[in-house]
Structure 1
């Protein structure tokens, strides 16, 4: 497995989704978790199967990233921003004309 794209755990994927502004829908039974976000009249829905499939394969990570409206590369970039925070004041823009609304900064975890 490439160090550029290490395996992600369920907890790490949930942190990425929360950072991006997704919220978990209430679960019925023990089914897959649904994380949702509305942006510019588009509803994004990401399905997360925890803990059965954790750590996630690259195929599942790519699928979850696509469901979130981004590439796997952008998804991992958010992961690195969370795992290795940069100094305050650094702008974290990723392929969006209004990054602060689509990729909100979180001051604390």
Structure 2
């Protein structure tokens, strides 16, 4: 399966996906840790994908989103952003609004 097809499958089959360095239990960079902290505060289940395990995936996700940095957060199949964007969206309530009216 092509890397872009793997990425598309992951983001379409899961409500929230984070392509990150490390995993949610052990982030391996401060930006990934920041995203995990925000998503844990929201309290919805999410899938963390460690891009350090797969160099093709690490580069492929950057091409897929046309976004040069990691982590990358996808909600309902759509690219949301990286750490700073996710933190700002959480602070403004915009991130939580993506789930308004839905039960966890």
**Structure 1 or 2: more strand by fraction:** 2
| TM-score strictly above 0.5 | no
TM-score normalised over the length of structure 1:
0.32
More RCO (CA 8 Å, sep 6+): 2
Larger radius of gyration: 1
TM-score normalised over the length of structure 2:
0.32
**Structure 1 or 2: more helix by fraction:** 2
